[in-house]
Amino acid sequence: MLGQIIWWSCIALETFLLVRGIAGRLWARYPVFYAYISFVWLQSLLRFSIFHSRPQYYSAIYWITEGLGVLAGCAVVFEIYRVGLAAYPGTARVARNLLGFVFVLASTKALVETWNDPQWWLIATTMDLERLLRTVQSLAILALVVLFLFYAIPFGRNLRGILLGYGVFVGLSVIQLTFVTDSGSRFHKFWSHASPGSYFIVLGLWIVHLWSYLPSPEPKGAVRLEEQYQRVAAATAQRLREARGYLAKAVRS
């Protein structure tokens, strides 16, 4: 009964989120995110109808839509990067390198593991594959958030909500997929309620943050940036050298 309530509530919240997105024209600002929410909404309806009309197909439909959802989630991460760093070409460049590094690292590890154990792909369950993809996604989001923190990139309320909600969703998914391997375990029973509950909270976060359009703060001083950067880079080196002077003097004394 509780599961049904959560299921219906999540579908209602997704509908509400989509309605707010259309009414506030937020979908035009964050098209990939709203396409993702539309996909999740349709997926929820499809799963619900299959669960009640043809339960024997539910498992197959669940894992197919789940796989597509993971891929659609990658596009959401890309949109966060694209919109969040549009005004910061320097940080965007670092982010591209960092994300590239994360994906190259994950691909290399996957190739090496497959080379060492060619049967891996046959033995691995769909859940293993999803956990792998979600982990790579969580590393990509982690790299982005660390970069945002390091460069103190100011975020608008909307984009902050998208990143926060999706980050929490991915983080919890990874934890869930790590622990929930035994369907008869006590943790599995607990998580079968906790997981939709946490998704309910994520949807709440999105609704609060995406109630209406609020632009991201614009960076100041975008005039002659290259010249300014070179000057500041040189000044940074000079000032660090001065600090070195103070320290050396202090230690010598």
Partner 1 sequence: MIGMWGALAGGVVLLLVLLAWVQAEASSKDSHSDWGASGQEQGDRAESCSLEIVSQVFSARDSKFISGLESPGLENLFRRERTAVALHWVQETSAFIGKIMRRHLEASRLSADLEIAVEARIFLRYARLKLFCGILFVLIGLLGPQRLAGTALYAERFIQRIGEGLVEFQLAAQLRERDGSESP
SS3 (DSSP) at 187: helix
Would you count residue 239 as binding partner 1 (CB under 8 A)? yes
Residue bearing tokens 């960092």: 98
Shortest separation between residue 248's beta carbon and partner 1, angstroms? 5
Q: Judged by CB under 8 A, does residue 237 bind partner 1?
A: yes
Nearer to partner 1, 68 or 237 (CB): 237
Q: Is the Cβ of residue 4 or residue 97 nearer to partner 1 in the bound state? A: 97
Q: Residue 38 CB, nearest distance to partner 1 (Å)? A: 25
Is the CB of 1 or the CB of 250 nearer to partner 1? Answer: 250
The site for partner 1, by CB under 8 A, has a size of 80
Q: Quick check: 156 binds partner 1 (CB under 8 A)?
A: no
How crowded is residue 60: how many other Cβ atoms within 10 Å of its Cβ? 11
What burial class does residue 37 get, using C-beta atoms within 10 Å of its C-beta: 0-12 exposed, 13-18 middle, 19+ buried? buried
> Rounded to the nearest whole angstrom, what is the least distance from the CB of residue 215 to partner 1 in the complex?
15
Binding mask 68-107 for partner 1 (x = CB under 8 A): -------------------xxxxx-xx--x--------x-
Spatial neighbors of 2 by CB under 8 A, at least 6 apart, are 193
Burial zone of 231 (CB within 10 Å; 0-12 exposed, 13-18 middle, 19+ buried): exposed
Using alpha carbons, select from 194, 200, 207 the residue that is nearest to residue 20: 207
Q: Which of 11, 75, 128, 214 binds partner 1 (CB under 8 A)?
A: 128
**What is the rounded distance in angstroms from the CA atom of residue 192 to the CA atom of residue 89?**
43
Q: Which residues, numbered 158-217, are part of the site for partner 1 (CB under 8 A)? A: 160, 164, 167-168, 170-175, 177-179, 217
Asked if residues 94 and 147 have their Cβ atoms less than 8 Å apart, the reply is yes
Which residue from 1, 152, 182, 218 is in contact with partner 1, where contact means CB under 8 A? 152
Q: Which of 132, 159, 202, 203 binds partner 1 (CB under 8 A)?
A: 132
* C-alpha–C-alpha distance, residues 130 and 116, integer Å: 21
Is residue 233 involved in binding partner 1 (CB under 8 A)? yes
